Amino acid sequence: MTKVDVKTETAALLDKLGVARAAWQGGDMASFSPVSGEEIGKLKTVSAAETNKAIDAAHEAFKAWRLVPAPKRGELVRLLGEELRASKADLGRLVSIEAGKITSEGLGEVQEMIDICDFAVGLSRQLYGLTIATERPGHRMMETWHPLGVVGIISAFNFPVAVWSWNAALALVAGNSIVWKPSEKTPLTALASQAIFERALARFGDAPANLSQVLIGDRAIGEALVDNHKVALVSATGSTRMGKEVGPRLAKRFARSILELGGNNAGIVCPSADLDMALRAIAFGAMGTAGQRCTTLRRLFVHDSVYDQLVPRLKKAYTSVSVGNPLETSALVGPLVDKQAFDGMQKAIAAAKAEGGSVTGGERVTEAGKDTAYYVKPAIVEMPKQAGPVLEETFAPILYVMKYSDFEAVLEDHNAVSAGLSSSIFTLNVQEAERFLSADGSDCGIANVNIGTSGAEIGGAFGGEKETGGGRESGSDAWKAYMRRATNTVNYSKALPLAQGVSFDIE
């Protein structure tokens, strides 16, 4: 691994992206690069009281923005997409520096932002309501979708900017204002995204002030977003532990929530699987992003008839994969985000061994004399059965592999975890594939055939069931969560017939 001067490069990128130095120098919250473990910024933070003020301002912005026609709102998002295209290389690089993603994944993350902007621009002319048959003559019944209010966004370090954009692009075309609390681990990429947004705003011209704000700081900001009644919807991405705090607090004031929490995603490799294809999909799904996607493949069930053909090849891929500096294009696996992630990984590996697991990889890869970054060999752990740490999400590159012989039993094991985000089956057998996608197949929000668990496109609704939280973001009709539905009945007759045949004649 070569030493890169991430500090100097970060400063140059932030300057180029238009982030004022005062926002990230001399403040009280440090940001570190997982690439080297160095501090790369000291950001100014805001308090809960300032958050509440920002929410008041956002609410004022909402009151004006909701009156702007949706296709015009879409124009702002179109400009945001253009600005993101212009800044793709720089923002992608900053994502790699601050989140530790390999170069192509840092760029891919920005591409995901561009894609959702395109999607939302089209959507801005398609916020359709239904016209519904009414039982009363001379009446018309229909649905109208209205802007909702202030949308609070709480995002995680692993998709530090894409998840904001999924929410922001939809919320803006829906006529809402936004207040964003980014992860404390990745605040610089958030400032950069805001600077990019502000360029789009300047080109747009007459949007209300405070339409989209980013608030840097600790959980006090998140708590204010969750508890402030002016925030109509909170979209939160993070751990199930976080969701268990956020969900009930929002429910207490009947606010809306979109929760995208933990995943413990599995794949099943059936006897007929194309093993070359499965191998590549498993490798990317399990080792990509150093195992730090919510969609990372964490459990693999392999039919005993193909186990000895597939698993030794997988182990070889694990041993030979290039782990290293994500800023160099040769690395496929970058660093873990921090020491806490490393410790969690080691703890899970020890627990797996205690359950009879046989481990390949998992050890730390260090540069001589340098112990502030946490690079690890991804671990593949052959387990005698699904037990102990296999049942939980550990946010690190550990793939638990188990043998199966019976399809019904493996479907049960597949669904026997508390999370329900993503899932895959590798098979050329149409009965198995369709069964996996059916009502008594995978119980996840995402179920795939012959592709991995991660790397979803923005066009589909994204989210999962059970302890994943149940929310949906991104494509399909996820926009409906960002709008208020009104059912309207109009009487254009000269009579007043009541529904259900009720009569109520006064006089």
Binding track, positions 84-123, relative to ligand UN1; x by CB under 6 A: ----------------------------x-----------
31 binds ligand UN1 (CB under 6 A): no
294 binds ligand UN1 (CB under 6 A): yes
401 binds ligand UN1 (CB under 6 A): no
- Out of 212, 264, 454, 468, point to the residue binding ligand UN1 (CB under 6 A): 454
- Considering the candidates 9, 260, 393, 432, report the single residue annotated as catalytic: 260
293 binds ligand UN1 (CB under 6 A): yes
| Contact predicate 233/481, CB 8 Å | yes
CA pair distance 461, 381, nearest whole angstrom? 32
Restricting to residues 129-158, name those near ligand UN1 by CB under 6 A. Answer: 158
Close Cβ partners of 268 (under 8 Å, ≥ 6 residues apart): 300, 301, 404, 410, 414, 424, 425, 426, 427, 436
Helix, strand, coil shares of the chain, percent, nearest 5, are 40, 20, 35
Give the range of 192-200, 371-379, 452-460, 477-485 binding ligand UN1 by CB under 6 A.
Answer: 452-460
Letter string b/e over residues 169-193, b meaning 16 or more CB atoms within 10 A of that residue's CB: bbbbbbbbbbbbbbbbbbbbbbbbb
Closest CB to ligand UN1 belongs to which residue?
456
Half-sphere exposure of 403 (CA within 13 A, CB side): 12
Determine whether 294 is an active site residue.
yes
Q: Running DSSP on this structure, what letter comes out for residue 333?
A: B
Nearer to ligand UN1, 44 or 88 (CB): 88
Tokens of 311: 């698993």
- Out of 455, 464, 469, 471, point to the residue binding ligand UN1 (CB under 6 A): 455
456 binds ligand UN1 (CB under 6 A): yes
Determine whether 260 is an active site residue.
yes
For the chain, the distance separating the N- and C-terminal CA atoms, rounded to the nearest angstrom, is 90
CA pair distance 194, 151, nearest whole angstrom? 16
Which residues partner with 486 through β-bridges?
144
Nearer to ligand UN1, 1 or 294 (CB): 294
Binding track, positions 360-399, relative to ligand UN1; x by CB under 6 A: ----------------------------------------
What is the DSSP pairing of strand 465-466 with strand 419-420?
antiparallel
Q: Running DSSP on this structure, what letter comes out for residue 497?
A: P
Nearer to ligand UN1, 138 or 459 (CB): 459
Nearest distance in Å: CB 445, ligand UN1? 11
- Out of 295, 360, 394, 468, point to the residue binding ligand UN1 (CB under 6 A): 295
- Please tell me whether residue 7 adopts helix, strand or coil conformation: helix
Nearer to ligand UN1, 188 or 456 (CB): 456
Which residues are at the interface with ligand UN1 (CB under 6 A)? 112, 158-159, 163, 237, 293-295, 454-456
